[in-house]
Every structure is written in C-alpha cells, then in structure tokens.
C-alpha cells in the first residue's frame, strides 16, 4: 500500500500542476524571453539584445523612475495605514465593550458596523475610481470635499485634488485605504474571535488597560494574520494601476505625479509600441513582489504562541 502511495498522489497533482505551469509559469518565462529582445509587438521579427532593456529602465527619468518612487511610497503607506486601522477598528468592535459583570464583549451593533466597513469590497475597482473621481472633483463640478471645504471657508484646490500634483498621490492612497480597511477589519475580527476571553479578563484583573491589552495580548496572538495581511496589501500596492487609470487625469497625471509601475508598463506596451521594454518592467515588478513576500515571511517570523 505504501509503495503505491506516491503514484496515487502524483495522479491527483499532475493536472493542477500542469495547468499552473501552463497558465502561470510559462507566460512569466515568455515575458522574460521577450524582455531580452527589441520586439515591438507589431511584427514577428525580433533581435536579442541581452539586458539592454533592464539597463535602460533606470535611465528613464520621465516615466519609469517617478513611477518606481510613487509605487514604493504606496507599498510602504498602504499596508501600514490599512493594518493599523483594521486592527484598531477590529479591536474596538470585538474587545471594546464591557458587560455589567465586567466581561469582555464587543460593542453594540458590531455586526452592523462590520457590514458598513465591508461595503467597499462589493464594489469593483472601476466603480470605486469613478465614485472618488467625483468626490475629489472641483467645486464647480459638484466635488463633495471641495464643496465642504468651501462651506466652512477653508481653501481647496481650484481644479480639484486629482488635478493638483501636491495632493493626487495622497488622494489615491486614501482611496486604497478606504477600499481595503473593511476587508481586514473582518479578517482581524475573525482571528480575534479565536482568542479566549479569559486572557483579556485576566489582564483586566491585573490592572491592564486597553492599550496594554492590545499590545500584550491581541497583537502577539494575531501576528500571523498581520503578516499575511502585509503580504497581500503589498501585492495590492504593486498592482494599483487600475485605480490610477480610472481616477487620475492622463492616467497617471498630472505631469506623472501619480504614475505607477503598472501604468508605465501599459503605456510602453500599447501607446509606445515597445513590448520588450514593457516586459522587462513587468519582470522587475514580478521579482519585486516575490522579494517583498519572501522578506515579509523571513523577517516577520516569530515564535508561535499556543493558548
């Protein structure tokens, strides 16, 4: 029986592994091959030019380098802000209440609040982009934020937040946080539900406040969930082009002030007809995502706590 175990297992793995290799690994390998050529995408002829496309990536100060800087800012800001807000709201909704007997409970209406926070998840990225494009619009176009600021006599950008180089990237990050925090609130809430309430009640008896309870009990026991959230949010930050495409002027403007790596790939591939250069940038983006995941798993590892 044991002798025939491995062929039996392989018979089940052959189809999914084969599909994964065909649909995922093979396209990545082909993209790497194309990145070593001068292929424009409009012909079947190309010449191998080695690593020239990779060298030229870092010489492009008009699109590539600003896009890398902006993407790096989003990769840092989005996970930090979203995880912090998700943990805070989840902790307050699940642990913030107190019964008359002194027991730890969630606040009243916690389920309703979770639904409200989760609502942006049911909207497509295109709808979110169009919605917030109107929210950030100038006052004469009915912009909600600019109209509110004017109502209170506060200054606002004349052409709206998305047409101002000072605010456009911050505006995009704010929308990303708004659309993501609800999912991670529910994600962290489900993880908190598995923490025994006895631990919190023992902490209260010992005189621990909410801040001490969070850092001494909740956060250590949720560290694996935080690590997972960090990896997923980092990948989302690298793949933010659709929102930038839908929201910002010139699909990354104004003057490339909100340009991201995905947008540069799209522009070089379909606007400039430089498929090989776009493929090289795509390969760099792939290895950046892979490196972020490996580093997060390696340096975020902690001793597992059992309870």
- Which pLDDT tens digit goes with each residue over 91-106? 888 776 555 555 666 6
If pLDDT is split at 50, 70 and 90, which confidence band does 174 have?
very high
Residue 231 in any domain: the answer is yes
- Name the more confident of 109 and 90: 90
The confidence score (pLDDT) of residue 270 equals: 84
The confidence score (pLDDT) of residue 101 equals: 56
If pLDDT is split at 50, 70 and 90, which confidence band does 211 have?
confident
Please return the burial class of 9, using the count of CB atoms within 10 Å of its CB with bins 0-12, 13-18 and 19+. exposed
The confidence score (pLDDT) of residue 173 equals: 94
Residue 214 in any domain: the answer is yes
The confidence score (pLDDT) of residue 62 equals: 79
When pLDDT is averaged across residues 170-187 and rounded to a whole number, the result is 91
If pLDDT is split at 50, 70 and 90, which confidence band does 3 have?
low
In the chain, the number of structural domains is: 1
- Name the more confident of 265 and 203: 265
If pLDDT is split at 50, 70 and 90, which confidence band does 1 have?
very low
Residue 162 in any domain: the answer is yes
CATH number at residue 218: 1.10.3720.10
The confidence score (pLDDT) of residue 4 equals: 61
Mean residue pLDDT of the chain comes to: 82
The confidence score (pLDDT) of residue 98 equals: 56
The confidence score (pLDDT) of residue 218 equals: 80
Residue 147 in any domain: the answer is yes
Residue numbers of the domain that contains 82: 75-257
Residue 190 in any domain: the answer is yes
pLDDT tens for each residue of 142-167: 788 888 888 888 887 888 888 888 88
* DSSP string of the chain, one letter each residue: --TTHHHHHHHHHHHHHHHHIIIIIHHHHHHHHHHTB---SSSS---B-TTHHHHHHTT-TTTHHHHHHHHHHHHHHHHHHHHHHHHHHHHHHHHSEE-TT--EEPPTTHHHHHHHHHGGGGS-HHHHHHHHHHHTS-GGGT-HHHHHHHHTT----TT-GGG-TTTHHHHHHHHHHHHHHHHHHHHHHHHHTTS-HHHHHHHHHTT--HHHHIIIIIHHHTHHHHHHHHHHHHHHHHT-HHHHHHHSGGGT-STTTT--HHHHHHIIIIIS--HHHHHHHHHHHHHHHHHHHHHHHHHT--PPPP-
The confidence score (pLDDT) of residue 139 equals: 79
Residue 173 in any domain: the answer is yes
- For the entire predicted model, the pTM comes to 0.84
Share of residues in the chain with pLDDT > 90 (%): 10
Judge whether residue 78 has pLDDT over 60: yes
pLDDT tens for each residue of 277-295: 888 888 888 888 888 888 8
pLDDT tens for each residue of 48-71: 888 888 888 888 787 888 888 999
Residue 47 in any domain: the answer is no
- Cα 173 from Cα 260, distance rounded (Å): 12
Residue 197 in any domain: the answer is yes
């Amino acid at each position: 029986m044991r002798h025939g175990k491995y062929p039996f297992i392989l018979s089940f793995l052959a189809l999914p592994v084969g599909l994964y290799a065909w649909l995922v690994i093979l396209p990545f390998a082909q993209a790497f091959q194309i990145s070593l050529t001068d292929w424009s995408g409009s012909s079947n002829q190309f010449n191998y030019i080695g690593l020239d496309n990779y060298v030229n990536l870092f010489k492009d100060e008009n699109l590539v380098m600003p896009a890398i800087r902006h993407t790096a800012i989003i990769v840092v800001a989005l996970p930090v802000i979203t995880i912090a807000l998700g943990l805070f709201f989840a902790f307050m909704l699940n642990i913030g209440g107190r019964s008359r007997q002194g027991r730890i409970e969630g606040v009243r209406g916690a389920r309703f609040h979770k639904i409200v926070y989760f609502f942006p998840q049911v909207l497509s990225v295109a709808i979110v982009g169009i919605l917030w494009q109107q929210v950030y619009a100038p006052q004469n176009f009915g912009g909600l934020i600019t109209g509110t600021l004017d109502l209170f006599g506060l200054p606002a950008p004349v052409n709206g937040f998305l047409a101002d180089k000072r605010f456009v990237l911050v505006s995009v990050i704010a929308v990303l946080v708004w659309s993501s925090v609800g999912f991670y609130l529910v994600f962290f809430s489900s993880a908190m539900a598995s923490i025994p309430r006895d631990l919190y009640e023992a902490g209260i008896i010992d005189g621990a406040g909410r801040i001490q309870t969070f850092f001494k009990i909740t956060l250590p026991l949720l560290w694996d969930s935080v690590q997972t959230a960090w990896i997923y949010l980092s990948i989302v930050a690298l793949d933010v082009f659709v929102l930038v495409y839908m929201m910002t002027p010139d699909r990354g403007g104004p003057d490339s002030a909100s340009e991201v790596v995905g947008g540069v790939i799209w522009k070089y591939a379909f606007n400039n007809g430089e498929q090989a250069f776009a493929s090289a940038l795509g390969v760099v983006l792939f290895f950046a995502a892979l490196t972020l995941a490996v580093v997060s798993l390696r340096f975020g590892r902690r001793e597992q706590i059992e309870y």
